[in-house]
């Protein structure tokens, strides 16, 4: 197995275009947590001509809802949530400059087309490894929408956050290519 590719944020379109499906990465820097409730608020703000709480240019968004931190830890378990819950909002958010998304599960055709248009990479974090992923988080800070609790917009400072490229900015999709291998099995 190849050594993981080390990525440092900010994450640019040029960085995104270097990655291919199946690449294992370790992310260091700042990533931003937001789930569907925060995405809805941001899209509503944009529709009303309002400014967003952060500039999303060359940022990565991580779809998660963290558990409360134990004393002395910056965050509790912090595994990925199902990314499809953000699909209705994702093209609008990608137009704001996001270049990387981290979550789990497949994405809609509309999201993949927006990724191709905007030069965005979609990474999968391993579901079920939330406690292990939390070890890569060095700092967690709520930035906006604190009333949403674990769905608030937050900044995470991470070191060697593990992920896999599952859809690259050309639209190549590991979920599709890997599943296709098994569709030819008899009886399935």
So which residues are the catalytic ones? 39
23: which residues sit within 8 A by CB, 6+ positions away?
5, 164, 165
57: which residues sit within 8 A by CB, 6+ positions away?
10, 96, 97
Q: What is the largest CA-CA distance in the chain?
A: 55
121 close to 174: Cβ distance less than 8 angstroms: no
d(CA 13, CA 59): 10
């Amino acid at each position: 197995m190849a050594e993981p590719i080390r990525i440092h944020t900010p994450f640019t379109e040029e960085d995104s275009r270097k990655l291919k499906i199946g690449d294992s990465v370790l992310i260091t820097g700042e990533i931003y947590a937001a789930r569907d409730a925060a995405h809805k608020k941001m899209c509503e703000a944009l529709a009303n001509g309002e400014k967003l709480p952060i500039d999303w240019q060359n940022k990565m968004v991580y779809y998660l809802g963290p558990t409360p931190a134990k004393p002395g830890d910056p965050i509790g378990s912090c595994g990925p949530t199902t990314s499809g819950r953000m699909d209705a909002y994702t093209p609008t958010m990608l137009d704001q400059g996001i270049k990387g998304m981290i979550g789990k599960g497949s994405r809609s055709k509309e999201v993949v087309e927006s990724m191709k248009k905007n030069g965005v990479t979609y990474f999968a974090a391993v579901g079920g490894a939330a406690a292990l992923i939390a070890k890569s988080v060095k700092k967690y800070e709520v930035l906006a929408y604190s009333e949403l609790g674990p769905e608030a917009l937050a900044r995470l400072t991470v070191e060697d956050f593990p992920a896999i490229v599952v859809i690259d900015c050309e639209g190549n999709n590991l979920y599709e290519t890997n599943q296709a291998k098994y569709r030819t099995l008899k009886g399935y």
